């Protein structure tokens, strides 16, 4: 087989690729760091040729005109499994719509409803056997490659070649275009004092030998710093982060005590800085597995002492967490929050932890509330939260009645709001 000839035959210019998109198509693209940014960055150019194109994304990395410009309405709709700050803006133009999901079921549920006409992903250059690596994400990409009528890859030598379920053969690909842009990088914000207080409370809950998952947001970065004195931690996570690289280099993460995939990091996507991308490049210690596997609560639960650590925006006095909306407005997504928390519940010695600041908007509002705001989505059921942590301490919820939960949650609310919370609990008979 001469794979190079096949490659050259399939190689097109981005101009030619763009015109493969037709009216009423569903075009799915890879997640976040693996987003085909050149394709999305120029999609608006065919606006006048198409109508009603669904562009299915997850955590947009740039301010793409096809969704940010108000005159795209009717031509493109950015359907997405996870809002980023950029999608929040597009939402106001009616050019974005949220697709509710638990991440491990995202692909299966959408595919059960609608077949993709086109999938576009980002991949590393082809090897001598004809394989590309999907690099930064296999959350749903493999399923969409298997289901799409047309599979397109942006081939880019700047992306890390990762191992696991990441490989795609040239025979599965219809068209290729090449790019040499750099992968998007997250700005890592140094944890502030409040983050570190929360990180240290969480570190107290994590025993040596635990396997951890860290979610998206500022607090999980602080948690990785607070774990520096732990021993033999393992990682089974949806998102692979810079903090995990630091803990590995410091000898804290060894993956040696894991009861599933011993000696390996397991993740489904990576998002961070060049340090992270260099670490996962051709690293046999890291396996990226499909989201339907990595985030399956029954798989996660096979890890002994599995600890999930995620962040929320609002928690009610019974423990219901809204982590993806501010009132009725979509803010982010459920992602794997519920998957990983239920997984931790399934694990022997596991713990599911939710962390948040006790207040928002310069201490003017409490994030611990008697009832979630009108229209807020419950991202995580109160049945699946073991601990809620703020800068005022740890509220254990597992096995606790509503009365006990109210008491524990009020004790970690900001002192300015505790009396009012007590009155509200009485008024609404939350006991
Ligand atoms: N009411 C109003 N505003 C609130 C609020 C509340 N109850 N709680 C927080 N906010 C505001 C904050 O003040 C802040 O606004 P600012 O940027 O103007 O200061 C904003 O909401 C939250 O800050 P942000 O920096 O966007 O949060 P983050 O990056 O730390 O992410 C989540 C926090 C909860 C949005 C994020 O973790 C998430 O989407 N989680 C759900 C998915 C998940 O956990 N997946 C897990 C596997 S990766």
Query: For 137-147, what is each residue's pLDDT tens digit?
Result: 999 999 999 99
Name the residue of 31, 58, 313 whose CB sits within 8 Å of the most ligand 1 atoms, as the mutation to test its pocket: 313
Mean pLDDT of the chain: 97
Residue 152, H or E segment: strand 150-156
List, for residues 293-332, the tens digit of each pLDDT value: 999 999 999 999 999 999 999 999 999 999 999 999 999 9
Per the structure block, which two tokens stand in for 313?
Answer: 């925006």
- DSSP 8-state class, residue 212: E
> In this predicted structure, what is the pLDDT of residue 215?
85
Report the first-to-last Cα separation within the chain, whole angstroms.
70
- What does the alpha-carbon distance between residue 266 and residue 269 come to, in Å, rounded to a whole number? 10
| Cα–Cα dist 120/20, whole Å | 11
Nearest CA to ligand 1 atom 2: 326
When pLDDT is cut at 50, 70 and 90, the band that residue 343 belongs to is very high
Token pair, residue 208, equals 């040596």
CA-nearest of 273, 66, 43 to 154 is: 43
Pocket test for ligand 1, best of 360, 362, 373 (most atoms within 8 A of CB): 360
Structure tokens that stand for 53 in this block? 């194109």
Instruction: Give residue 149's pLDDT.
Output: 98
Q: Per-residue DSSP letters for 306-366?
A: EEEEEE-SEEETT--EE-SEETTEE-S--TTHHHHHHHHHHSTT-EEEEE--SEETTTTEE
**Looking at the predicted structure, is the pLDDT value of residue 1 above 80?**
no
User: What is the whole-number distance in angstroms between the Cα of residue 313 and the centre of ligand 1?
Assistant: 5
Catalytic one among 238, 287, 324, 391?
Answer: 238
In this structure, are strands 351-355 and 306-311 parallel, antiparallel, or unpaired? parallel
Is the distance from CB of 217 to CB of 227 less than 8 angstroms?
no
Is residue 279 left, alpha or beta, with left meaning phi > 0 and alpha meaning psi from -120 to 50?
alpha
- If DSSP codes are grouped into helix, strand and coil, which group holds residue 68? helix
pLDDT of res. 410: 98
Give the pair of three-digit tokens for residue 72.
Answer: 């795209």
Q: What is the dihedral of CA 42, 46, 52, 55, to 10 degrees?
A: -20
Query: How far apart are the CA of 387 and the centre of ligand 1, in A?
Result: 18
Probe target for ligand 1 pocket from 240, 332, 334, 364, with the most ligand atoms within 8 Å of CB:
332
Distance between CA atoms of 297 and 402, rounded to whole angstroms? 25
Interval 205-235: pLDDT, tens:
999 999 999 988 789 889 999 999 999 999 9
> What is the mean pLDDT of the segment spanning 343-351?
97
Give me the residues paired with residue 236 across strands: 266
Which atom, in ligand 1's list, is nearest to the CA of 313? Answer: 8
- For residue 314, how far is its CA from the centre of ligand 1 (angstroms)? 9
CA of 334 to the centre of ligand 1 (A): 12
**Encoded tokens for 90:** 């597009």
Which residue has the CA at smallest separation from atom 22 of ligand 1? 313
Q: List, for residues 94-126, the tens digit of each pLDDT value.
A: 999 999 999 999 999 999 999 999 999 999 999
Kindly give, in sequence order, each residue whose CB lies less than 8 Å from that of residue 93, ignoring residues fewer than 6 positions away.
Answer: 67, 68, 69, 70, 72, 73
pLDDT value of position 189: 86
Nearest to 29 by CA among 80, 96, 100, 104: 80
Looking from the CA of residue 331, the nearest atom of ligand 1 is 35
Mutate to test the pocket of ligand 1, among 361, 363, 373, 413 (most ligand atoms within 8 A of CB): 361
Helical (H) or strand (E) element with 66:
helix 65-68
Q: Identify which of 375, 376, 370 has the alpha carbon closest to the alpha carbon of residue 421.
A: 370
Query: Atom 33, ligand 1: which residue's CA is nearest?
Result: 217
Residue 309: its pLDDT value, please? 97
Distance of CA 179 to the CA centre of its chain: 25
Cα 31 to ligand 1 centre (Å): 20
Nearest-angstrom CA–CA distance, 6 and 11:
9
Look at residue 156 in the predicted model and tell me its pLDDT: 98
Nearest CA to ligand 1 atom 12: 360
Predicted confidence at residue 271, as pLDDT, reads: 97
**How far does the centroid of ligand 1 lie from the alpha carbon of residue 91, in Å?**
17
CA of 423 to the centre of ligand 1 (A): 27
Q: Which ligand 1 atom lies nearest to the CA of residue 220?
A: 30
User: What does the block give as tokens for 36?
Assistant: 């085909």
Pocket of ligand 1 (CB under 6 A): 215-218, 238-239, 310-314, 323-324, 326, 331-333, 335-337, 360-361, 365, 367, 379
Parallel/antiparallel/unpaired status of strands 321-322 and 314-316: antiparallel
Answer yes or no: 238 catalytic.
yes
Contact status, residue 250 vs residue 228, Cβ threshold 8 Å: yes
Atom of ligand 1 at shortest range from CA of 239:
48
pLDDT one-digit tens code per residue, 21-56: 999 999 999 999 999 999 999 999 999 999 999 999
Dihedral (Cα; 220, 225, 230, 233), 10-degree rounding: 50
In this prediction, residue 196 has a pLDDT band, given cuts at 50, 70 and 90, of very high
């Amino acid at each position: 087989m001469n794979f190079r000839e096949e490659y050259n035959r399939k190689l097109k210019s981005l101009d030619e690729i763009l015109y493969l998109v037709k009216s009423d198509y569903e075009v799915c693209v890879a997640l976040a760091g693996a987003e085909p940014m050149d394709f999305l960055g120029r999609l608006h150019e065919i606006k006048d040729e198409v109508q009603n194109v669904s562009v299915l994304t997850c955590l947009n990395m740039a301010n793409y005109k096809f969704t940010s410009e108000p005159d795209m309405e009717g031509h493109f709709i950015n359907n997405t499994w996870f809002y980023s700050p950029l999608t929040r803006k597009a939402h106001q133009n009616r050019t974005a719509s949220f697709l509710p999901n638990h991440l491990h079921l995202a692909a299966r549920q959408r595919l059960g409803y609608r077949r993709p006409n086109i999938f576009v992903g980002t991949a590393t250059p082809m090897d001598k056997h004809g394989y590309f690596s999907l690099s930064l994400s296999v959350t749903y990409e493999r399923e969409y490659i298997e289901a799409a009528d047309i599979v397109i890859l942006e081939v880019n030598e700047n992306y890390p070649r990762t191992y696991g379920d990441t490989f795609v053969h040239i025979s599965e690909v219809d068209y290729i275009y090449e790019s040499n842009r750099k992968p998007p990088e997250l700005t890592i914000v140094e944890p502030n004092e409040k983050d570190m207080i929360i990180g240290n409370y969480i570190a107290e809950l994590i025993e040596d030998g635990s396997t951890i998952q860290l979610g998206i947001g500022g607090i999980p970065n602080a948690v990785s710093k607070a774990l520096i004195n732990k021993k033999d931690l393992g990682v089974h996570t949806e998102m692979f982060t810079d903090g995990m690289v630091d803990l590995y280099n410091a000898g804290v993460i060894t993956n040696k005590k894991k009861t599933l995939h011993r000696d390996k990091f397991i993740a489904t996507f990576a998002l961070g800085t060049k340090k992270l991308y260099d670490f996962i490049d051709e690293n046999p210690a890291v396996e990226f597995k499909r989201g339907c596997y990595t985030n399956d609560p029954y798989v996660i639960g096979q890890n002994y002492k599995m600890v999930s650590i995620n962040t929320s925006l609002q928690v009610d006095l019974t423990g219901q967490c809204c982590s993806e909306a501010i009132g009725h407005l979509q803010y982010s997504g459920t992602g794997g929050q519920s998957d990983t928390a239920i997984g931790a519940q399934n694990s022997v010695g596991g713990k599911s932890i939710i962390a948040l600041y006790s207040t928002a908007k310069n201490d003017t509002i409490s994030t611990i509330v008697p009832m979630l705001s009108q229209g807020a989505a419950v991202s995580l059921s109160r049945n699946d939260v073991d601990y809620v942590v703020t800068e005022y301490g740890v509220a254990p919820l597992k096995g606790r009645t509503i009365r006990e939960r109210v008491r524990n949650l009020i004790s970690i609310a900001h002192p300015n709001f505790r009396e009012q919370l007590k009155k509200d609990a009485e008024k609404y008979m939350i006991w």
